[in-house]
Structure formats: C-alpha cells, structure tokens
Amino acid sequence: MPLASYALGMMDASVYAPEVFARGLPSTLQPSAVGVVPAGSIATAAAPLLSLQGIGLSFGGVVALADIDLSVNPGEIRAIIGPNGAGKSSLINVISGVYRADRGHVLLDGIRYGQVPTQRLAHLGVARTFQNLALFKGLSVLDNVASGLAYKVRSNFAGQVLGIGRSRGEQRDSLSRADQILEFLDLTTVRDRLAGTLPYGLQKRVELARALVAEPRLLLLDEPMAGMTAGEKSEMAGFVRAARDRFATTVVLIEHDVGVVMGLSDRIAVLDYGRKIADATPDEVRNDQRVIDAYLGVASDNEDGAGI
C-alpha cells in the first residue's frame, strides 16, 4: 500500500507539473505590485493561493486552534504572530499536513484537503522550515540543499550507482541548482562543511536554502529568526524578501520579533489562545486594541503603583 500510494503521488506530480509552471509564470509579475497596491485590492484581483476555512484542532482537552480562517494571496509575505502557545506552529503543521485538523479544511491552489498529503507536499509546490532545526546533520551543506530536489529524482538507485540513464543529468542539475541557491543566500563559503558543524544562524539559513531550492510557490517558515541576534535577524529578513522577489514565492511566516515582522510582511494575522484576533496590514495591527492587549503590551497607566 505505501508503495502504491507513492506511485500515485508520482503520477499526480507529472499531471500537475505543467499547471505549476503555467500558474507560476504570471505570479512573477506580482511581487512588484504587492508592495504598491493595498492588500485588500489584491484579494479581489487574484484567487488566494492558500486558504484555511474554519480550522479547529485540539489535543485532548486543550484547544490549539479554534475556527481559524486565513487567506494568503500569491506573492505576499504573510506573517502569523502571537504569544507562546497561541497555536502558530500548530497552524503551520496543519498547512503542511503534519497535523490533521479536527474541523475545517485547507484549500491549496483551489484544491480542498482535509489533511494535506505530507508526502506530496513538495510536488504541490510547498516547502517549509522547522522551528527547531531539522537539517540532515551528517550531510554537507551542499548535499542538504540538493536533497531539497530529491522529490524530482526519477532515476532509480541502480542507474545512479552505474551512472547511466537520466541519473547523471539529474545529479548535475541538482548540484548546480543547489550551488546557485547557496550563492544567492551567501553560503558558498560553507558549501562543503557538514551541516551539523555550522553555527545556529547559518544552519537556519541552510534550512531556508533547502526549502528554496525547489522554488516552491508557497514557503512556510516556522520562526526563521528565533534565537538570532538583531543583525542576523535583519539579514534573514532581507533574504526572505529577496527570495520572494526572485522566485515569486508566497511566504507564510511565524515570528516572535514584532519589529522584524512589521517591516517584512504585507499582512499580519494575530493569534491568541488558538483564535485569530486580528488580520490586517502591519499599520492596522499595530493600532488594534485587542492585539495591543494580547501581545504588544502598553505602557502601564498605573505608574505610581496605586492599588498594588
């Protein structure tokens, strides 16, 4: 059964592939437009690439997500923020099919899923990074990034061992594309190091490279800047923006650092206790009273400490 479903996955991929390219092209025109036109008008101009409808998820009695709706337009950088335990990572896991939502469904490119098929995620043009590093420690940086193209490999192991058939071309193609991404993200100097030996900030960037090498239409970033210094954060933000502009990738990103998010995103959704309490442009979110109460905080009115 696993083998059969895998085989089906391959077939589906070849069916979708032309479509992927056909839809990918017009969206290359959009990134420049996104910055200028207010977000609201894009929503009417293009169908959302991803939308969540009434997503609910609970672990035992703990409600992680309650009735979440979210739509992500092609080419935008969409941030999801919220305090710890607000359900941000759960949401990414639902989108990428790691969790199955109890209620609601995920619409990816117009196709409706109860649970997004994880094994086919790459074929659907979705890539993600993980909150805790999920690199392959025993592979070099180059091989880590090249493995982001493993889903495309059609040659079998015998062809690869003997170096015959399409395996040679595939190998050359994977490595050269991985090299291009390494150059793009300024990782060429660590190309041949084992991924596990790199400092934390660089490992985060290698993970971004591994996700980007497949040139996904939708990139899910789970706290890409967690634990970084301010300098590394702004560098990372620059890379995320550059990736969006160069590959016309739609980005959904979870982040704690509100300052970085405000500057980077086109629209921000705010979660609190599994509910979406706001969904608007950075400026609107910054002034939303509920967001301020839940997350951003205010200078205390009670400065003289009366009543304490």
204 with 220: CB under 8 angstroms? no
x/- mask, another protein, residues 244-273, rule CB under 8 A, reads ------------------------------
Widest CA span in the chain = 80
x/- mask, another protein, residues 89-118, rule CB under 8 A, reads -------x-x-------------------x
Q: Taking CB under 8 A as the rule, does residue 164 contact another protein?
A: no
| Count of residues interacting with another protein (CB under 8 A) | 45
Q: How far is the CB of 223 from another protein (least distance, A)?
A: 15
Q: Taking CB under 8 A as the rule, does residue 120 contact another protein?
A: yes
Q: How far is the CB of 215 from another protein (least distance, A)?
A: 13
Q: Taking CB under 8 A as the rule, does residue 181 contact another protein?
A: no
Helix, strand or coil, per DSSP, at residue 141:
helix
Q: How far is the CB of 9 from another protein (least distance, A)?
A: 8
Q: Which one of 15-23, 121-129, 243-251, 277-285 is the stretch in contact with another protein (CB under 8 A)?
A: 121-129
Helix, strand or coil, per DSSP, at residue 241:
helix
Here the tokens at position 279 are: 């969904």
Q: Which of 185, 177, 180 is nearest to 204 (CA)?
A: 185
Exposed (0-12), middle (13-18) or buried (19+): which is 5, by Cβ within 10 Å? exposed
x/- mask, another protein, residues 32-51, rule CB under 8 A, reads --------------------
Here the tokens at position 135 are: 């690199």
Helices (H), 113-199: 141-146, 157-162, 167-184
CA distance 34 to 218: 16
Binding residues for another protein restricted to 203-232, rule: CB under 8 A: 210-211, 214
Q: Which one of 56-64, 66-74, 158-166, 295-303 is the stretch in contact with another protein (CB under 8 A)?
A: 158-166
Q: How far is the CB of 290 from another protein (least distance, A)?
A: 33
Q: Taking CB under 8 A as the rule, does residue 4 contact another protein?
A: no
Q: Which one of 46-54, 168-176, 225-233, 265-273 is the stretch in contact with another protein (CB under 8 A)?
A: 168-176
* Closest CB to another protein among residues 39, 139: 139
Residue tagged 């793009």 (tokens): 184
Here the tokens at position 74 are: 């092609």
54 with 39: CB under 8 angstroms? no
User: Residue 230 — φ and ψ, nearest 5°?
Assistant: -55, -40
Exposed (0-12), middle (13-18) or buried (19+): which is 262, by Cβ within 10 Å? middle
Helix, strand or coil, per DSSP, at residue 221:
strand
What single-letter DSSP state applies at residue 280? E
Please tell me the number of Cα atoms within 13 Å of 204 on its side-chain side.
21
Here the tokens at position 195 are: 């991924």
Helix, strand or coil, per DSSP, at residue 128:
strand
Q: Which one of 56-64, 106-114, 149-157, 240-248 is the stretch in contact with another protein (CB under 8 A)?
A: 149-157
Q: Taking CB under 8 A as the rule, does residue 131 contact another protein?
A: no
Q: How far is the CB of 67 from another protein (least distance, A)?
A: 26
Q: Taking CB under 8 A as the rule, does residue 147 contact another protein?
A: yes
* Closest CB to another protein among residues 68, 124: 124
In the complex, the residues that contact another protein under the rule CB under 8 A are: 2-3, 6, 9, 96, 98, 118-123, 127-128, 130, 134-139, 143, 146-148, 150-153, 155, 157, 160-163, 167, 170-171, 174, 190, 193, 197, 210-211, 214
